[in-house]
């Protein structure tokens, strides 16, 4: 690692801290992701999902892994440097994005995602912080949770940011598909218009509730595994009517609203694939009629109601398989380091292993009505939570937190403005 001079910290995630660095030999600016846990063997490093996925996925809209370095039992990913993440950009902008800008970001995100899905991976943690931007170019980053589509369910150790989590994951389906990424794309698309998350759940049950407030109650037959939870949610959500998306995203064209609706379908089978989404009329610029900005979306932003999302880790049913290593740093059994050029550098008494990846080198204020509705909603969530806590030994567990509070890990989420949805609500 002596070749890299660390310049500044760029981010501190669950798995690693990311720094901007300077390669003193090539004068190149790079991003160095230093993993938080120790790595004693190369095999462990080589079987990290992030390494496996990034080695395979070479695409202009997926961040490139240049090198993997192990030094003193510490692991570093040398990544191409990107200037911003989409969350930072949204937070710092004074005006919302134009539909043209959104189309550009979305098209790149979908192209990167289509490549990922085509190559047998799904990301599982898409969110604005994991979309990196330099000038107008967007790249998908943080493949720490990426899964091979061909890998066998059940997928039990899923950890991701709640606001972008698909309903089937919230409902503990054990066999979810790449469609979970498409749900996140829909949520991100809506957020690009409003600069506020569309489903800002404060707990897993509240997350489902927030989704019901926008989409209306689901047809639970799409979630056969969720009988118990669906019965409970139904108590509070069955009479919730869907909100007109155009009312909450007034600056989005009808094409954009339609795409969001399709992507955020309760039923994963109804969501378009990344390739299909790219064919949606939203991307047919000629056909798009610019949508008059009738309301300033900034005015639609509500004060952050004091809500502090409890970003607990969802480690329910954490199983005993050897690859269920903590926080997505999952190691596969039977490693292989073929096709990799490994250099052992023991000069100066420092044990440093370098892995070069040659293939990658080339290449409004809130109204009184809202407050009333919000308090009603909170009351119902409270009732449901009480009901849930009184139920014991249910065959299908309700999503439970194991009590790991990690709010400190993602402080930026706490700063995020929340979009309030005042949907029709009947008790
Ligand atoms: N290649 C890069 N160039 C510039 N900044 C980056 C790069 N990679 C990551 N970052 C910054 O570091 C932050 C954390 O990175 P990353 O998401 O990879 O870490 P993590 O530990 O896996 O995080 P998470 O908690 O989201 O899983 C990103 O949100 C981004 O701001």
pLDDT at 232: 58
Choice between 237 and 322, residue whose per-residue pLDDT is larger: 237
List residues near ligand 1 (CB under 6 A). Answer: 10-11, 13-16, 18, 31, 33, 63, 79-82, 85, 129-130, 132, 141-142, 144
Mean pLDDT of the residues in the chain = 70
Q: What is the pLDDT of residues 91-104, one digit of tens each?
A: 999 888 999 999 99
For residues 344 and 342, give the distance between their C-alpha atoms in angstroms, rounded to a whole number: 7
pLDDT at 16: 84
Q: What is the pLDDT of residues 115-170, one digit of tens each?
A: 999 988 888 889 999 999 999 999 999 876 665 555 555 554 445 688 999 998 88
Q: What is the pLDDT of residues 236-267, one digit of tens each?
A: 566 778 889 999 999 999 999 999 999 999 99
4-80 shares its CATH topology with 84-283 = no
As a three-state string, the secondary structure of the chain is CCCEEEEEEEEECCCEEEEEEEECCCCCEEEEEEECCCCCCHHHHHCCHHHHHHHHCCCCCECCEEEEEEECCEEEEEEECCCEEHHHHHHHCCCCCCHHHHHHHHHHHHHHHHHHHHCCEECCCCCHHHEEEECCEEEECCCCCCEECCCCCCCCCCCCCHHHCCHHHHCCCCCCCCHHHHHHHHHHHHHHHHCCCCCCCCCHHHHHHHHHHHHCCCCHHHCHHHHHHHHHHHHHHCCCCCCCHHHHCCCCCHHHHHHHHHHCCCCHHHCCCHHHHHCCHHHCHHHCCCCCCCCCHHHHCCCCCCCCCCCCCCCCCCCCCCCCCHHHCCCCCCCCCCCCEEEEECHHHCCEEEEECHHHHCCCCCCHHHHHHHHHHHHHHHHHHHHHHHCCCCCCCCCCCCCCCCHHHCHHHHHCCCCCCCCCCCC
For residue 12, which of 38, 45, 44, 35 has the smallest C-alpha distance?
A: 35
Q: How confident is the model at residue 401 (pLDDT cuts 50, 70, 90)?
A: very low
What residues form DSSP beta bridges with 34?
A: 17, 76
Our answer to whether residue 317 is catalytic in this structure is no
Q: How confident is the model at residue 388 (pLDDT cuts 50, 70, 90)?
A: very low
Tell whether the model's pLDDT for residue 75 goes beyond 80: yes
Q: How confident is the model at residue 403 (pLDDT cuts 50, 70, 90)?
A: very low
Choice between 170 and 30, residue whose per-residue pLDDT is larger: 30
pLDDT at 153: 53
Closest residue by CA, ligand 1 atom 29:
129
What residues form DSSP beta bridges with 121?
A: 148
CB atoms within 10 A of CB 296: 13
For residues 314 and 156, give the distance between their C-alpha atoms in angstroms, rounded to a whole number: 10
- In this predicted complex, what is the ipTM? 0.95
pLDDT at 86: 96
Q: What is the pLDDT of residues 348-363, one digit of tens each?
A: 444 455 554 444 334 4
Q: What is the pLDDT of residues 192-205, one digit of tens each?
A: 999 999 999 988 88
- Is residue 352 within 8 Å of 1, Cβ to Cβ? yes
Tell whether the model's pLDDT for residue 211 goes beyond 80: yes
Q: How far is the CA of 59 from the centre of ligand 1 (A)?
A: 18
pLDDT at 148: 54
Specify which of 15-19, 103-107, 303-307, 325-329 reaches the highest per-range mean pLDDT: 103-107
Q: What are the tokens at 103? A: 């189309």
pTM over 0.80: no
Q: How far is the CA of 13 from the centre of ligand 1 (A)?
A: 6
Q: How confident is the model at residue 215 (pLDDT cuts 50, 70, 90)?
A: very high
What residues form DSSP beta bridges with 356?
A: 67, 341
For residues 63 and 149, give the distance between their C-alpha atoms in angstroms, rounded to a whole number: 20
pLDDT at 204: 84
Q: What is the pLDDT of residues 119-129, one digit of tens each?
A: 888 888 899 99
What residues form DSSP beta bridges with 33?
A: 18, 77
Q: What is the pLDDT of residues 361-385, one digit of tens each?
A: 344 434 444 444 444 444 444 444 4
Q: What is the mean pLDDT of residues 30-38?
A: 91
Q: What is the mean pLDDT of residues 166-175?
A: 81
Q: How confident is the model at residue 46 (pLDDT cuts 50, 70, 90)?
A: confident
Pocket test for ligand 1, best of 15, 18, 83, 164 (most atoms within 8 A of CB): 18
Return the ligand 1 atom nearest residue 129 CA: 29
For residue 178, which of 227, 131, 123 has the smallest C-alpha distance?
A: 123
Tell whether the model's pLDDT for residue 386 goes beyond 80: no
Scan for tokens 């950890």, then name that residue. 159
Choice between 287 and 187, residue whose per-residue pLDDT is larger: 187
The residue extents of the domains of the chain are: 4-80, 84-283
Choice between 417 and 230, residue whose per-residue pLDDT is larger: 230
Q: How far is the CA of 18 from the centre of ligand 1 (A)?
A: 6
pLDDT at 225: 63
Pocket test for ligand 1, best of 142, 360, 406, 407 (most atoms within 8 A of CB): 142
pLDDT at 140: 96
> Is domain 84-283 annotated with CATH 1.10.560.10?
no
Topology of the domain comprising 4-80: Phosphorylase Kinase; domain 1 (3.30.200)
Q: How far is the CA of 163 from the centre of ligand 1 (A)?
A: 18
Q: What are the tokens at 281? A: 């009329």
Q: What is the pLDDT of residues 293-317, one digit of tens each?
A: 444 444 444 333 333 333 332 322 2
């Amino acid at each position: 690692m002596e070749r890299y001079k660390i310049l500044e910290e760029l981010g501190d995630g669950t798995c690693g801290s990311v720094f901007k660095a300077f390669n003193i030999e090539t004068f190149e600016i790079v991003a160095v992701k230093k993993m938080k846990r120790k790595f004693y063997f190369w095999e462990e490093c080589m079987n990290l999902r992030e390494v496996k996925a990034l080695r395979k996925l070479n695409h202009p809209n997926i961040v490139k892994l240049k090198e993997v370095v192990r030094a003193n039992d510490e692991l570093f990913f040398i990544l191409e440097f990107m200037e911003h993440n989409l969350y930072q950009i949204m937070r710092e902008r004074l005006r919302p994005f134009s539909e043209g800008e959104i189309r550009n970001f979305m098209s790149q995100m979908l192209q990167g995602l289509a490549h990922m899905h085509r190559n047998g991976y799904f990301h599982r943690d898409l969110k604005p912080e994991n979309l990196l931007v330099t000038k107008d170019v967007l790249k998908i980053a943080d493949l720490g949770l990426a899964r091979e589509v061909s890998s066998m369910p059940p997928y039990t150790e899923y950890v991701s940011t709640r606001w972008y989590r698909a309903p089937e994951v919230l409902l503990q389906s054990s066999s979810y598909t790449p469609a979970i990424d498409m749900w996140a794309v829909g949520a991100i698309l809506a957020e690009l218009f409003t600069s506020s998350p569309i489903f800002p759940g404060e707990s897993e049950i509240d997350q489902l509730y927030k989704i019901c407030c926008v989409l209306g109650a689901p047809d639970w037959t799409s979630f056969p595994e969720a009988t118990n939870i669906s019965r409970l949610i139904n108590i509070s959500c069955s009479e919730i009517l869907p909100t007109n998306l155009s009312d909450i995203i007034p600056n989005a064209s009808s094409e954009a609203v339609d795409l969001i609706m399709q992507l955020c379908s309760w039923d994963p089978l109804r969501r378009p694939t990344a390739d299909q989404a790219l064919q949606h009329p939203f991307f047919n610029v000629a056909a798009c009629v610019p949508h008059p900005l009738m309301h300033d979306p900034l005015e639609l932003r509500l004060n952050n109601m004091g809500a502090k999302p409890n970003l607990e880790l969802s480690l329910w049913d954490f199983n005993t398989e050897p690859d269920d290593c903590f926080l997505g740093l999952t190691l596969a059994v039977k490693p292989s380091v073929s096709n990799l050029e490994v250099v052992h550098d023991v000069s100066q008494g420092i044990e440093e292993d370098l892995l070069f990846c040659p293939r990658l080198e080339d290449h409004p204020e809130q109204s009184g009505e809202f407050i009333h509705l919000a308090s009603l909603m909170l009351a119902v969530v409270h009732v449901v939570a009480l009901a849930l806590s009184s139920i014991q030994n249910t065959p299908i567990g309700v999503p439970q937190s194991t009590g790991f509070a990690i709010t400190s890990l993602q402080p930026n989420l706490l700063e995020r403005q929340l979009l309030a949805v005042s949907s029709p609500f009947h008790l």
